[in-house]
Amino acid sequence: MSQFAPLQSPSPNFDERRCRKPVDMVVLHYTGMQSAEAALARLRDPDAKVSAHYVIDENGSIHNLVPEDMRAWHAGISFWRGVRDVNARSIGIELVNPGHEFGYRPFPDAQIAALIGLLSGIAERHRIAPAGYVGHSDVAPQRKEDPGEYFPWARLASAGFGLWPGADFQVSPNAPELRPGMSGGAVLDLQVALDRIGYGVEGSGNFDPLTESVVRAFQRHWRANRITGSADAETTSLIHYIAQRA
């Protein structure tokens, strides 16, 4: 648990959820700015028209910008598990990190511990399935890459927040290796599995640019040591493994 109680740092950038469905997602971001102060200033600027419910600094301090019962403007054009208005169904959490533009770096232990503590409270207030803990790159794979390959998804899953392969995962000896430009039944099967996980990909049977972006987002989340956009045997096996548990 975080040693810090949330600091109230209200943002004007929210509106009513306007949705009868309950909150069933948490979307994780990095701030992608040079300092926490700069990020908080932007997220509280009415002209920016962007915010999140929470910001977690690298030292573990938590800022509450938007009440959880309101719709914060954090995900933009996005999609997950059939939901196109992700903002209406999610809680957005920004983790202070310069991001790929300003010197991306690993997330400190204090920051992740604070996040896990915050998620514990969110889980008590909302019913969120393991597949509902996602990154900005998952819900907007053609636009975003945060929280990025350094984010410790395995640590979150071990705390009960998210999906992660277990000790039973194996690379299938029959897993095909699929690349952009290919087409056929194996590509269609891959797209169907990605759709089952939650990604917004159409089952065309063609390994098109959208499918490449989605595979890259999947790798960034579940196979971050090698992000290629091609589905090698390990990636293909992982996609089908996670899809069976989503």
- In a domain, residue 44? The reply is yes
pLDDT at residue 241, rounded to an integer: 98
Helices (DSSP H) in 126-204: which residue ranges? 136-139, 153-158, 185-197
Query: Is the CB of residue 96 less than 8 Å from the CB of residue 37?
Result: no
Q: Is 230 contained in some domain?
A: yes
Do 122 and 33 have their domain in common?
yes
Distance separating alpha carbons of residues 62 and 117, to the nearest angstrom = 10
Query: 114 and 25 in one domain?
Result: yes
Same domain (yes/no): 127, 72: yes
CATH number for position 107: 3.40.80.10
Q: What is the pLDDT of residue 2?
A: 47
Range of the domain at 235: 185-245
Distances (CA, A) of 50 to 42, 94, 107, 145: 8, 11, 23, 17
Q: Please, which pLDDT band fits residue 21 given cuts at 50, 70 and 90?
A: confident
Tell me, yes or no, whether 66 and 144 share the same domain. Answer: yes
Q: Which of 32, 31, 148 has the alpha carbon at shortest distance from 101?
A: 32
pLDDT of residue 19: 81
Tally of domains within the chain: 2
User: pTM value?
Assistant: 0.96
**Residue 236 pLDDT greater than 60, yes or no:** yes
Which residue out of 94, 145, 149, 234 is catalytically annotated? 94
Whether 149 and 191 share a structural domain: no
Confidence of residue 183 (pLDDT cuts 50, 70, 90): very high
- 175 located within any domain: no
Task: State the Cα–Cα distance between residues 207 and 191, nearest whole angstrom.
Answer: 9
- In the prediction, which pLDDT does 1 show? 42
- 173 domain-assigned: no
Q: Bridge-partner residues for 162, per DSSP?
A: none
Q: Is 94 a catalytic residue?
A: yes
Q: Are residues 113 and 227 in the same domain?
A: no
Question: Residue 171 domain-assigned?
Answer: no
Residues 205 and 125 in one domain: no
What pLDDT does 40 receive? 97
| Average pLDDT value for residue range 145-165 | 97
Asked if 197 and 147 sit in the same domain, the reply is no
Residue 103 sits in the same domain as residue 64: yes
Question: What's the mean pLDDT in 46-68?
Answer: 97
Per the domain annotation, does 178 fall within a domain?
no
- Listed in sequence order, the residues at least 6 apart from 122 whose beta carbon sits closer than 8 Å to its beta carbon are 26, 68, 91, 128
- Give domain status of residue 180, yes or no: no
Task: Return the percentage of the chain with pLDDT > 70, whole number.
Answer: 98
Judge if 134 and 193 occupy the same domain. Answer: no
Same domain? For 201 and 236 the reply is: yes
ω before 147 within 30° of 0 (cis)? Answer: yes
Same domain for 149 and 223, yes or no, is no
* Residue 149 identity: E
Would residue 219 count as lying in a domain?
yes
